[in-house]
A and B are shown apart, each in its own frame.
Chain A
Amino acid sequence: MASTTVGSIAAVFRTCSVTGLKVNRDAENLIKVNAVFAVVFFLVGLVSALLLVLTRWQTVHLLSAEWYYRILTAHGLNMLIFFIIFFEMAILYFAGPVVLNSRLPLPKLAWAAFALMLVGAVLVDTMVFSGKADVLFTSYVPLRADPNFYLGMILFAVGALIATGLFFASLVVAKQEKTYEGSVPLVTFGGLTAAIIAVITLVHGAIIYIPTWLWSLGLMNVDPEVYRMIWWALGHSSQQINVAAMVSVWYLLGGLTVGAVVLNEKISRSAFALYILFISLASAHHLLVDPGFGPSWKVVNTSYLMYMAVLASMVHGFTVPAGIETGQRLRGLTKGMFEWLRKAPWGDPGFSGMFLSLVIFGFLGGVTGVTIGTEQINMIAHNTLRVPGHFHTTVVGGTALAFMALTYYVIPLIFRKELRLWGLAKIQPYLFGGGVSIFALSMIYAGIFGVPRRHWDISFAAAPFKVEFHPAVDLFMGTLALGGSIAFLGGLIYVLVAVLSVFFGKPLTDEAIRKGTAHVPQGILKLPPQSHGEAESAAVHRSGTPGTLVLVFVFLLVFAVYYFTNWKMLSLVWKIG
């Protein structure tokens, strides 16, 4: 522990015995509280998820209609907003001050931002669970919730905006105080990308929730279509913060687990820049069959101006595994095309979670998202179960799983605790990733048969006109329940490991790391080399990454088949237009 005085400001640091980074005490404490509350809100969302799965599985049909829609509202908000954004704030406090060996400017303001977010989130949840905001996650005007619901959202957004501002401030402070040499590391650059997108997102949140709050008080009018457009610049763009943060976590965990390298800083950083420029256009994905917008607006926006953000993801989808492959080859795993992958540390949940996240996000999330986000194809997908099927593979199988994988490194590195339930932690990514994949694919197939999302009773028992779905739908709703329950189990293990380790875990000492203990990921015990000599890396780079090349071409094939099959399906429906 060392106290450093910078001008008149005293900041307390410790030096991390694993990574050698100088860790600021303020930043460290803020990482801790944000991560702990992320897990608390995750648990609320997780229990909600199980109740929803057991309701949509008509064999059980657990909740009443009223509680189904109420819990659905809670699930969306707690998972997509509270859990994810609290976790992202923790990542920003790490990617800024910690990675740059710097102090955190204005720590008191950082605590105020955290308090605002917490008060906002608790207010929103209070409104939802007391039945005063049965408006679902999207709260489309003119469905009306209690004014305090919108107020809570505003408080949360303002708090997150302040915390994001402090991340920018920490970059300035680190640069001025020369706490690092050269350019910021790629992880910080990715964090910066996420932070810039977060500003765009949160400003839209404020632009739409402030008028909506005033509308709920009877003070002004809000146009339903304008609401949908601006709200989705919050609702969809917030998922793009996730994408940027998740990709940064892939790079980070690649480095920590197997010594993955950055093949080319230019390529990876340009890809992040493409996200900043184009990814926020994606709010159009929700407006493709809306009456408020013309075809050219829809085509330009839904494609992120000619798919430039898709290009970015496809680039990361290559550079991340290629960096892992190169890192492994530098460590001597050079045999054949796939020795680097076969001999990867599959028992390290930090690695397996990261790699599964990459595969699920790319193969399932990316492919389905681009396809149903195509202007015309959206007609056969909008508001069916295909939509939640898609985004559970991006934000749950992708982002949430990557964040879980990171948690297995945060607990020993930041909380300095050994992991409890280590045996379960090792299988957790497989349970969660596998469960989510079965669950989401079931939704996608059921959606292709026309099953609506956000619907309490697809047997239509009390409806004036009966609807009988194809018998296959029963099967898919059953596998949906199966996959959902497995994912729930995986989520529960995650919460147990995190809570038990943080609050009841054995403190991790430097001596335990030196001697080796069985209860931490292998990257902590023996951090792979993070830098390599020029001659050595040039030789490995020349021999290339044949394994990754095979993987990305398989990906492209899957993408093309799925994409054109959907055009074929569209061509069979009634003539429209």
Chain B
Amino acid sequence: MSDPEVLAPAVLDRLAGIGKADIVVGIPSFQNAATIGHVVHAAQTGLAKYFPDLHCVILNSDGGSSDDTAAVVASAGGFDASVVFVSNPVRPIHRFTVPYHGLPGKGSAFRTIFRAADILDARACAVVDADLRSITPEWIHLLVAPIVEETADFVAPYYHRHKFDGTITNNVVYPITRALYGKRVRQPIGGEFGVSRALVRHYLSLPVWETDVARFGVDIWMTTTAICGGYRVCQAFLGAKLHDAKDPGADLAGMLVQVLGTVFTLMETHEDIWQRVHGSEPVPVVGFQYGVGLDPIRVDTGRMIDHYRRGVRDLDPIWRTVFERPTLERLRDLATRTGADFLIDDELWAGLTYDLAVACHRRVSERADLVRAALPLYMGRVASFVIEIAEADAAAVEARIERLCIAFEAQKTTLRSNWADGRR
């Protein structure tokens, strides 16, 4: 069970004062003063509108923001009850900010939220990012209702995103998670989740909160743990996901290490499960699905291909420890191509990803180094994908991603064999 010291005595007193809750909505934050007011407002309205009879708490788990995040949460006004209710009084919704402790990172914020939900004995716990601009009260309903109605233990988000966005999800995390664990969770690192009481307690009971999961990778960890734990999983269609622009100088290599590093660590943890899984099955989606118009994005594939070529030119000594010679020759050949001829096809990409997983399993080098060394390959794949889908509509892009997933599933036999042999 979780260490109760995760929460400060003052917070424990506050929770004791509240006693018990049915729903806890957690909002992890760091420097989100610009957007968190809207998120709190949407959560508050959603809880009041869809769960007026239930006892609800909104908990902001803050990582020491120096802006006005906590003040915005405290002052985020109520809602116009006449807009959302025909009748019925509303139960008061408790709302407060808790600074989280432990290792700095989103995982520690989640731990604080889960611990509070556990103490409050909440039936359902939803977590939403503090930088969301497109969140509506319906999101809370969609994330929480399947849990309250006891039809699911874990609700993953399902968004419409621009066809060029979410490339780590589309090209790596979704295909590999689906192929490994057999569940088609389209946004396994979405950032918004609904979790049942049983699953919250399961999460808290696992000895990961002092590891890297506490820092990063908590999204994929939660999804994978829910699937591997045999919990009922569903997806909630939330429409478009729009959020504050990430820092343009953000370290993409670091992000890749966070996500892929956790995926590969989980492959070690759940080896006995994914080795037995063949194929994949759909995961039910709740919510009315509709088309979403998204602003066009201008993409610079030239920059990505240059990055790929630099990798081919300079990283050969490292890639040789990961990939077989024919694969390396294909990569070198690709570096000479341009335009539509620059194509990292699905079979090659699935093979590269699996080879990287096996190399991490063999520990031929530090995991973070191997993943960072794979960044040029990822950039090449993204450039190739962007070139390929430049004129495609949303449905065609989904069909394209489906073909990629099938390639990952088809090559799983090779992965099993190489993993067992310790060969690349």
A and B interact physically: no
Residues of B within 8 A of A (CB): none
